Structure formats: C-alpha cells, structure tokens
Amino acid sequence: MNTLPVNYVELEAIYQTLEKRAYRCISLSGVHDLCGTSMTAYALAKRYQANGYRVLLVDVNLHHPNLDSQLGLKRLDWEVGCDQVAPIFAPSEMGTHYLTAPISNTASLSFRDPNAIQHSLSQWLEQYDRVIFDTAPISTTNYRDIPTNLICSAADASVLLMKSEFTTEVALKDCCERLAKANANLVGVVMNDVQFPSLASEMIRETERIPNVLNTVKHFLQRQIHKSTLLNFRI
C-alpha cells in the first residue's frame, strides 16, 4: 500500500490537531475520488500505533473499498447495531487491527440507523484506543453506499480531504455544508498536493542535473533551498 511515513510533517500536523482534543473516533472523507483518503487513514492509524495506541481502521467505503485489495484481506458480511462480533483482522495483539468493507455492494439498512452505528462504535471503543473510519467520497455517495454523513456524525472528529488543482470551491463548499447539516465535527480540510510538488521540491530535483564534479555547489544550493521559507511556502 502506498502510504506516508509516520514522521511525515503534514501527517504529524493532522495527528497533533486531533490529539490536542483527545478525539478517539475519527472519520476521513474525500470530496471526491482520488483525494488520498485511504492512504491518509492508513498512515494516521500507523501514527497512532507508533504512539502505543491500539487502533481499529474501519473501511466503510463501498464505492471503492481499499483494505481488502491493498492488504490482501477478505471482505466478509457484517452489520452494525448487533452483538455479532465483526470479522476484525488482527495481525498482532497490539497495534492496528482492520475491518474490511462489508462484502455486499449495497449497504444494509443497519448502516442507515445512527443508533446502530453508535452501538457498534461504543463496543469498538471498549477494545481500542482509537477508531478510524475510511469513508466513501461525500460528493459521490448514493443509495448503495454506507452514508458518509452518518459515519461522520458518529465520529468525534471529521477530516475532509481535497485534491489540489482539481477540487472546485463549489464542491468543497457543498461537502462542508453536508457535514454541517449532519452535525459532524469538521476539524480540518487537508489538501492533497502530491501531484503538485512545491517549488522547493522542483528546484531540488533540478539541482540533481548538476555534474558530480560540482557536488560542493550542488549541496550548497540544496541546503539554501531547504532553508528558504519562501520556496517551501504552501498556499
């Protein structure tokens, strides 16, 4: 699975924001597809794990399920709101455990019941320090999907992801309004600009063209670029 290192600066910013309020259940949602939601959810789970937390990562994205294909796990049939034990995959006793998306292509009615969602979430929080939901994109949710607005409403905190140079202001505003209507606690919007590196990154890449005989010059330029606040500034 493509993921972010646990010491990644942007990931650490998300982690610290959530930890300041000690949020135990976090939902991550994209405005649309390809916002990096699953990658960020997995990386955040590993960041919590690195701090000694027991973490449950739950895939509730029927639109484009991820955990089964990326980690080689099976998708099984499960619902919320009942005392049936969900088929959680536990690679080790401690660390991150995984609950893949239900095998059905259409969400069961239990996922449309806020009380049922809260019931299962309460059970999970008895076993885990943190529960992270990887949800379907907000703008593409339809009647087949597990309702993202209900998952975000049940979570202590919601994080919304957008894609640089692709997500429109109208789409972002619409998603924020949907979350507000669901009484979700939107704590931040994350811009995924992995396909649009900073000016500093591009300049560092260009310095690699300098011949090895001028390594001293190359390394000097790279140090100056790294230290420049202007060149590393993110809009």
Q: β-pairing, 186-192 with 130-135? A: unpaired
Cα 216 to Cα 3, 200, 219: the distances in Å are 33, 19, 5
Model pLDDT for residues 109-139, shown as the tens digit of each residue: 999 999 999 999 999 999 999 999 999 999 8
Distance in angstroms (rounded) separating the CA atoms of residues 28 and 137: 9
The dihedral through the CA atoms of 126, 137, 159, 197 has a sign that is positive
**Contact in structure between 19 and 130 (CB atoms under 8 Å):** no
**Contact in structure between 49 and 55 (CB atoms under 8 Å):** yes
What single-letter DSSP state applies at residue 26? E
In this prediction, residue 198 carries a pLDDT of 63
**Contact in structure between 4 and 134 (CB atoms under 8 Å):** no
Cα 180 to Cα 19, 29, 141, 175, 183: the distances in Å are 22, 14, 16, 9, 5
In this prediction, residue 235 carries a pLDDT of 47
Model pLDDT for residues 56-66, shown as the tens digit of each residue: 999 999 988 99
- List, in sequence order, every beta strand (DSSP E) within 9-154: 25-30, 55-60, 96-99, 130-135
Tell how far CA 125 is from the center of its chain: 19
Nearest to residue 57, comparing CAs of 37, 42, 77? 42
Q: β-pairing, 96-99 with 186-192? A: unpaired
Residue with tokens 């049940």: 154
Task: Spell out, as residue ranges, where the chain has pLDDT lower than 50.
Answer: 235
Task: Record the pTM.
Answer: 0.81
In this prediction, residue 61 carries a pLDDT of 94
In this prediction, residue 59 carries a pLDDT of 97
- Amino acid occupying residue 179: L
